[in-house]
Amino acid sequence: MFKLTLKSLRANSVRLILSSLAIVLGVAFIAGTFVFTDGLKQASYDKVGKLDQKTSVGVELSETAFRTSAGNPDAGKADPPGFDQATLDKVRGLSGVAVAEGVVRTTGGLTGTNGKPVRGYPIFTSVPTSKDLQSYTVTAGHLSEKSGELTIDHNTFAKQGFKLGDTVTAAGENGVGRKMTLVGVVDVSGTALDYGGAFLGVTPADALAMSGLTKYTGMIIAAKPGVADEALAKEVKQAVGPTGDVKTRQELLDAGLAQIVQNVEQFNIVLLTFGAISAFVAAFVIANTFTIVLAQRARQTALLRLVGATRGQAFRSVVLESAVVGFVASIAGILAGLGIAAGMQTVLRKLDFPMEGGLVLTWKTIVISLVIGTGITVFSALVPAWRGTRVPPVAALSDSAVETARKVGKIRLVLGAVALAAGVACLFGAGMLGSFLFVGAGGVLSFTGIVMFGPVLVPFLVRVLGWPLRKLFGATATLAISNAVRNPRRIAATSVALVIGIGLVSAFQVGGESVKAGIGSQIDRKIGADFMFRSGSGQISQELVDKLRKLPELGTVSEPRQAVDEASDLRIRSTQPLYALNDGEKAVDGDPSKLTEGKAVATVPTGLKVGDKVSVKGRSFQVTSVVKQGDVDKKPNTTKQISIMDSDFTALYPTYRPYGLEASTATGFSTAKAMDAAYTVLEDYPTVEVMDRAAYKAELTSTVDTMLAFVTAMLGLAVVISLIGVANTLTLSVVERTRENGVLRAVGLTRGKLRGMLAVEAILMALVGALLGVALGTAVSAGAMNMINSLGGDFAVTVPWGKLSIILGVAAAAALAASVFPARRAVGRPVVESLATE
């Protein structure tokens, strides 16, 4: 039987090549994911300890220090945790210390050559001035050695077009820019200081001054010759006390690796999730393909039974055949996975993601890929093999080599209808019950119902969609529809494979558009300002606010802040008269826009009335207006709040600075003109960005767009695999209908009409699957939005008809392309030869 199986493989190689493509692509995605993430890990191993090569012991702030500061925020602002100069000197005086330097590591900003802040996630850090501690890879110039010198990373250096010796504006966490001389360029790619943004390195003294700190956030220490790192760490621990978390160089390396590996593993899980979806779709395609192939080989199987082969031998022969196909396809998938991994790296580099490492193919990846690919193929072939080998020999010999359409059991249809109804009910109930569990259950049950009810639902939809085609193409379309619904189980299995990928794509598209529309509407309602200023590093200084208010192009500049007065249990809000009325609020007495210094706008729950006085930290404010707040989570808002002028708030809470500003355009100026004027001030404050509402919306929704693009790309492979299923079904159907097509050709059907018949059949199969997928995805997304709204969200279901139409169009076009090869095979065979086929 083994030799017979191998001969069968050679004889049916063309048919099996098509079926193996689904496994090749599924395994390629999984193998490519492992190759890609293993490359990231390898690069991490090579670079994670690069900055600590000369560090014997490192000291960071301990969790105890952070908790103490978090527990007393006012004290934390006045005396933030860290290591003062006295502590650093104490460490330098230890017997095992050769050299020690303080480290400051915060966020910062850099003004680009266009006069605007460099976008991204910049890191502002001190660089060691001692040669005994310097481990940076310097690509040009030298590290900062004196006050006023700046070192940046090579990516920012190249993109901005800087030159060594240029005078640039940089800022630490305090946000105030400082003119500095660019003296060095370093490569920090793949290290712990690679956040995807600019790297800004200055001397420790400059780092303290530019960050507004009085203490270092860490220390790096080199040991004297002969002093073990562990022994030195014990000395340092005694010197710094509970404030410091002391680690040896090896411990720093291990901690860095653990964090990076954890991040890579999380990304790996995300990618493998999409790989699992592709493999699941491939399983559908493989099962359907083997069902058709074994039905076409019914006579061959029967003949083997007649000459002495047992049913078990025939079954094992098919399983062995599937194992060989899966194994060979998995090898091809591993090779294709190398290409996918290289493509991932290229795309992410183009998107400016920090990307290091090459292609790393391990034995683990090879074994896992072979097991998954072979396992899925064998598992998918088990049921078709069991059915195909249970055909009675005499019945098989007396029948044609065409799979008979088995009736769909009533129990299956009833269970399918129940599952579909239960799924729809869960999706509708998700909003009322406020549980994401019902959204997931609704999606799974609805899909299960489509699978079980498919042999009835799919042919019905094919006939419905085919009706206008009959009017357009006449007999050609009629024949295509008849062929498509001839075997309900077969077309249902083919179409359902498309439901998975397109359903998920549609769900994310509808959900993403709904979120984007919700974000836009909330910005329009809640932000009355023409444009916003936002700090990417720390608070915005009063100095900057004062400069902006002096610009004639700007109208009102507000500093939104909040505090809680513990004595009165009131929330104190900082505002300006123009923005005194919040989103959803309504004035019930007085005019909020008449707010002035010494006055306050109170909310209804405070119980205050116009004319009443309220005391905050010993200062009295007269209520000039009372407002009713909007509901929270569909319940009355009970927040007790008063709004006061920015200047009054600053007097009460001088250490509370805003992280953003709101501003209006002065009368007689355009928003663009006002923003240009603001940029002239912001050149000296590189951590602060300004944007109008449209730009603010675009920035917030760009994350959604990026996510949608990523998900669509990842799910695209599942859709491609399902379309391969359409091509497989059509190709194998052409093989079994060879004689039938010959008869049609003999009675006058032209080659063009035969091609058209197959094209219509393919398009109908794909469109039905795509429509069901779009409907399922839209329903799931609608259920998710309703669930989020029940928890206090405000997202109306927004259906992107244009994008969904493109999905349907692409599915139809791809199906048309998939029909080319089967059509070429059908029309290329001579009519006489086709008629002679049994």
Q: Residue 524 pLDDT > 70, yes or no?
A: yes
- pLDDT greater than 70 at residue 223: yes
Helices (H), 434-474: 436-473
Reading the block at residue 102, the tokens are: 């303080």
Q: How confident is the model at residue 18 (pLDDT cuts 50, 70, 90)?
A: low
> Hey, what amino acid is at 305?
R
- pLDDT (0 to 100) of residue 823: 78
pLDDT of residue 396: 54
pLDDT confidence of residue 400? 47
Region for residue 661 given its phi and psi (left: phi exceeds 0; alpha: psi -120 to 50; beta: otherwise): beta
Give the residue among 550, 606, 546, 554 at the shortest CA–CA distance from 578.
Answer: 554
| Mean pLDDT along residues 508-523 | 86
Between CA 589 and CA 596, with CA 590 as vertex, the angle to 5 degrees is: 140
What's the DSSP call for residue 242? G
SS3 257: helix
Q: What SS3 class is residue 764?
A: helix
pLDDT attached to residue 723:
83
**Spatial distance between the Cα atoms of 77 and 79, rounded to a whole number of angstroms:** 6
The arithmetic mean of pLDDT across residues 469-479, rounded, is 85
- DSSP secondary structure of 617-630: TTEEEEEEEEEEPP
Give CA–CA dist 269/264, Å, rounded.
9
Whole-number pLDDT of residue 397: 56
Q: Of 652-656, 657-661, 816-820, which gets the smallest average pLDDT?
A: 816-820
Give, in order, the Cα–Cα distances in Å from 732 to each of 288, 443, 829.
11, 32, 15
pLDDT of residue 8: 62
Query: Locate tokens 């730009």: which residue?
Result: 695
Confidence of residue 164 (pLDDT cuts 50, 70, 90): very high
DSSP string, 653-711: -TT---SEEEEEEPTT--HHHHHHHHHHHHTT-TTEEEEEHHHHHHHHHHHHHHHHHHH
Calpha distance 761→778 (Å, rounded): 26
Distance from C-alpha of 455 to C-alpha of 491, rounded to nearest angstrom: 8
Spell out the residues 6+ positions from residue 640 whose beta carbon is closer than 8 angstroms to its own.
Answer: 569, 570, 571, 603, 605, 606
| Residue 771 pLDDT grade (very low, low, confident, very high; cuts 50, 70, 90) | very high
Q: What is the mean pLDDT of residues 348-352?
A: 65
Sort strands 586-590 and 619-628 into parallel, antiparallel or unpaired: antiparallel
Helix 693-736 × helix 751-790 angle, to 10°: 140
Residue 243's pLDDT band (cuts 50, 70, 90): confident
For the chain, how many residues are written? 838
- Cβ atoms of 553 and 673 within 8 Å: the answer is yes
What is the rounded average pLDDT of the residues 554-560? 92
- Do residues 664 and 553 touch, judged by C-beta distance below 8 A? no
**By mean pLDDT, which of 75-84, 91-100, 563-572, 733-742 is the weakest?**
75-84
Q: Running DSSP on this structure, what letter comes out for residue 117?
A: B
The token duo for 65 is: 């220090």
What is the pLDDT, as a whole number, of residue 323? Answer: 86
- Which residues are bridge partners to 222 per DSSP? 99
In this structure, of 546-555, 628-637, 805-814, 816-825, the range with the lowest mean pLDDT score is 628-637
Q: Is the pLDDT of residue 331 over 90?
A: yes
Residue 208 has pLDDT above 50, yes or no: yes
CA distances from 541 to 73, 212, 544, 548, 660 (A): 18, 11, 6, 11, 10
> Which residues, 6+ apart, have CB-to-CB distance to 314 below 8 Å?
301, 304, 305, 389
Q: At what angle do helices 801-818 and 751-790 cross, to 10 degrees?
A: 150
Task: Determine which of 248-257, 330-339, 572-581 has the lowest per-residue pLDDT on average.
Answer: 248-257
Name, in order, each residue with C-beta under 8 angstroms of 276's C-beta and a sequence gap of 6 or more: none
Greater model confidence, 717 or 601: 601
Say yes or no to pLDDT of 402 above 50. Answer: no
Q: In whole angstroms, what is the distance from residue 363 CA to residue 67 CA?
A: 45
pLDDT at 32 over 70: yes
Supply the pLDDT for residue 205.
92
* Cβ–Cβ < 8 Å for 53, 220: no
Residue 48 has pLDDT above 70, yes or no: no
* Residue 230 pLDDT: 92
Q: Indicate the average pLDDT of the chain.
A: 83
Rg (CA), the chain: 35
Residue 644 identity: I
Angle between helices 488-526 and 693-736 (to 10 degrees): 180
Phi, psi of 400 (to 5 degrees): -80, 165
Q: Choose among 176, 211, 213, 218: nearest CA to 77.
A: 213
Nearest to 337 by CA among 44, 42, 26: 26
**In angstroms, what CA-CA distances link 412 with 270, 407, 417, 422?**
34, 11, 9, 15
Would you call 527 exposed, middle or buried from its count of C-beta atoms within 10 A (0-12, 13-18, 19+)? middle
pLDDT in tens, 61-76: 877 665 554 444 454 4
Residue that the structure tokens 């600053």 belong to: 650
Number of other residues whose CB lies within 10 A of the CB of residue 237: 16
Question: Is the torsion defined by CA of 665, 669, 672, 674 positive or negative?
Answer: negative
The answer on pLDDT for 440 being more than 50 is yes
pLDDT reading at 149 higher than 50? yes
State the number of CA atoms in the 13 A half-sphere of 379 facing the CB: 12
Task: Spell out the residues 6+ positions from residue 671 whose beta carbon is closer than 8 angstroms to its own.
Answer: 530, 531, 665, 692
Q: How far apart (Å, rounded) are the C-alpha atoms in residues 181 and 483?
A: 76
* Count of other CB atoms within 10 angstroms of residue 736: 18
The whole-number average pLDDT for the span 638-665 is: 91
Task: Return the pLDDT at 407.
Answer: 67
Lowest-confidence segment of 125-134, 239-248, 485-494 by average pLDDT: 485-494
In this predicted structure, the answer to whether residue 764 has a pLDDT above a threshold of 60 is yes
From the list 195, 198, 201, 199, the residue with the least C-alpha distance to 260 is 195
Quick: pLDDT tens for 121-136. 889 999 999 999 988 8
Which helix (H) or strand (E) is 124 found in, with range? Answer: strand 123-126
Give residue 392's pLDDT: 67
Give the position of tokens 């940076």. 136
Question: How many angstroms separate the CA atoms of 336 and 342, rounded?
Answer: 10
Average pLDDT over residues 279-305: 75
pLDDT confidence band for 147 (50 / 70 / 90):
very high
**Residue 332 pLDDT more than 80?**
yes
Q: And the tokens for 767?
A: 């469109």
Per-residue pLDDT tens digits for 560-618: 999 999 888 899 999 999 888 876 678 889 999 889 999 999 998 998 999 999 999 98
**pLDDT, tens digit, for every residue of 675-690?**
889 988 988 899 898 8
pLDDT of residue 399: 47
* More confident site: 682 or 348: 682
Write a three-state SS string for 707-729.
HHHHHHHHHHHHHHHHHHHHHHH
Per DSSP, the three-state class of 614 is strand
CA distance 564 to 569: 7
Residue 73 contacts by C-beta under 8 Å, 6 or more apart in sequence? Answer: none
